[in-house]
Amino acid sequence: MPLTLEHKPPGFMLVRASGTVTRSEADATKRQVIAALPPLGKANVLVVLEPGFTHLDSLAAWDDDPDDERLQRRMNRLAIVGDLKWRDGALLFFLKGLLPFPIEFFKTGQEAFAEAWLLHP
């Protein structure tokens, strides 16, 4: 499966992406993230673009789901880890600078740094 969601400590989620991520897979994972949001407080999400990640389907989008406003209000931080060739596309996909929470990109091998950034602001 190109996208998997793992639950870490409360309020922390890990999404791993590999292969080609389609619109339906992105939407299904987004719904899982929304369902897993803590009842109070905000969530931190770590997205890891695995070495086998090839691309996002052109119709996959972050900003066109009816639950996006709720999701955006409940996010604390978003970290993305992957090959630097995906940096600009990933930051554009997640609308860095336009959403009300910080988003940072970390290069492959820096998953621990990304987690530290998420959990220790």
Q: For 47-91, how does the pLDDT look when each residue is reduced to its tens digit (9 = 90+)? A: 999 998 998 766 545 555 667 777 888 889 999 999 999 999 888
Amino acid identity at 110: Q
Amino acid identity at 45: V
Percent of the chain with pLDDT over 90: 40
The per-residue pLDDT for 16 is: 95
Q: Please, which residues bridge with residue 80 across strands?
A: 47, 105
Q: What is the mean pLDDT of the chain?
A: 85
Domain boundaries along the sequence of the chain: 3-110
Please report how many Cα atoms fall inside a 13 Å half-sphere around the Cα of residue 113, on the Cβ side: 10
Q: What is the CATH number of domain 3-110?
A: 3.30.750
pTM of the predicted model as reported, rounded to 2 decimal places: 0.88
